Structure 1
Amino acid sequence: MQFLPISKSFFDQLADAASEVILPHFRSSLAVENKDAAAFDPVTVADRGAEVAMRALINSTYPTHGILGEELGDEALDAEHVWVLDPIDGTRAFISGLPVWGTLIGLRHNGKAAMGMMAQPFTTERFFGDGNEAHYFGPGGNRPLKTRRCESLSAATLFTTTPTIFTAEERPRYDAVERQVRLARYGCDCYAYCMVAAGQVDLVIEAGLKAFDVTALIPVIEGAGGVMTSWTGGDAGDGGRVVASGDPRLHEQVLKILNS
């Protein structure tokens, strides 16, 4: 069945609904819960409340659509259109008062990431893509997003949330890439991917991700001219080990190292 794109205005409505819930809690003394008994995986009332607000809007506007959300479970995942929601990607940054978290709103069509938005309510920035085009909306002026040329690792800027996300088997492969880049920086979660799309960063390498961490970002990266795959070059839509590159030539170099 042919995909009929959802208007960007509906993504904006979802982002607005999430923002109204989240912003009053940012840089406040809100309580933090831990979702993982074996590690620290924080969640707050802001995460849950924002997802409730977005789900209500989707259910009332597109009742036949499915929803995959980080905090509140799944609805009709076999539907033709499935929304993939992460109300606060980067909750650790959020509870630390750092504005590098974002609301991720992705839309799958027949299982593939088709459209996506990263909204940062505090900076009022939004990054939107449909796989063919990508655009920035915010204080810097609305404009198309375009990745930058970077043919060699020696000229590249690399981001990852933290090297501690990698397993003992993954870490040496990541380190082999990091040793060859010009600059490596840590943190920023979803914001780093948007900087790839904006031509500010060349590469993001991560592992242990879920579908709601990546679905919204794939159409933004690809719409800006970049590439986002698994470490083996496959579909990144379910998360796991992910590489996002601004230049396809750089991407091929990185995949060779990660799989060598």
Structure 2
Amino acid sequence: MPTTDRSELPIDELRAVAHKLADAARAATLPYFRAPDLPTENKQAGGFDPVTRADRDAEAAMRRVLADLRPDDGIMGEEEADIPSRSGLTWVLDPIDGTRGFIAGTPTWGVLIGLQAGAGPVFGIIDQPYIGERFEGGFGRARVVGPQGIAPLRTRGTTLLADAILFTTFPEVGTAAERTGFEAVRDRVRLTRYGMDCYAYALLAAGQVDLVIEAGLHCYDIAAPIAVIEAAGGVVTNWQGGPAHTGGRILAAGNATLHAAALELLKTAP
């Protein structure tokens, strides 16, 4: 019978596997980044939801690692079919979060690797291959490894919306009703920035910004950021204050006080 008792998890092994997944995705994505004539397809009729060969190659590379090292674990990925878990553990993979940024040549995209045991993630990695920064959180550790060495991750203690820095990926956050909720927060913060993809969550965990608000996310967009941010001291929920690991409307904050202030405004969105 599979177990999801977190006290029984092989932490060192799982952490090592997660880093091997990130290494595999780095090797698969970097040759395509800023390369001319990147093969790209549109997955959305009447809109633009791009997928590139880099997305597909990176997810395939990570799945090969798991097939070799953790064949009984489940997989939920953006580009291929889900694989049910036989171990009680499921890897949640987004090979390139921020494909539009990848296509445009901005280093705000990243590889997201989350590990779920039961309901919600217990470990996550946000990896930015081009910059060489890897943010990890869970199993009692939150840190970034990058060109400047290794540093602990700790969210900021900003408690007032008037002092906060807010990120979101698109100015057009979700539906018209969702935009109203977002704008209620936006109009009260000190600074709002756009277009950061998953790197916004990494910067929140690193204590550079205070809030990230988004809507319309999938589970693979948010599982890894939840683990990293919570390990760094932050809070991630949906817009009603409930669990966020299934996606949808997301509010991430550096601390509970600021989270509550933003949540009060977002709850008004239909």
Q: How many residues align?
A: 260
Q: Is the 8 A contact 1:107 1:113 kept in 2?
A: yes
C-alpha distance in 1 between matches for 2:118 and 2:19 = 23
Aligned in 2, Cα 1:69/1:149: closer, same or farther, shift over 3 Å? same
Q: What residue in structure 1 maps to residue 117 of structure 2? A: 109
Q: Is the 8 A contact 1:131 1:220 kept in 2?
A: no
Q: What residue in structure 2 maps to residue 57 of structure 1? A: 65
C-alpha distance in 2 between matches for 1:238 and 1:49 = 25
C-alpha distance in 2 between matches for 1:204 and 1:18 = 25
Q: Pick from 146, 170, 174: which aligns with 2:178?
A: 170
Give SS of 1:163's match.
coil
Q: How do 1:28-177 residues align onto structure 2 when only pairs under 5 Å count?
A: 28-29=35-36, 30-77=38-85, 80-130=88-138, 132-177=140-185
Query: 4+ residue stretches of structure 1 with deviation over 6 A?
Result: none
Give TM-score, length-normalised by structure 1.
0.97
> How big is the shift at 1:141?
1.8
Structure 2, unaligned runs of 5 or more: none
Letter in structure 2 aligned against 1:148: R
C-alpha distance in 1 between matches for 2:181 and 2:144 = 33
Q: Does 1:246 align with 2:254?
A: yes
Identity among equivalent pairs (%) = 50
| 1:168-224 CA distance string (max 9 Å, x none) | 111111101000000000011110001000000000000000000000111100000
Letter in structure 1 aligned against 2:146: G
Q: What residue in structure 1 maps to residue 23 of structure 2? A: 16
Q: Pick from 183, 197, 216: which aligns with 2:224?
A: 216
Give TM-score, length-normalised by structure 2.
0.93
Q: Is the 8 A contact 1:131 1:219 kept in 2?
A: no
> How big is the shift at 1:9?
2.2
Give SS of 1:105's match.
strand
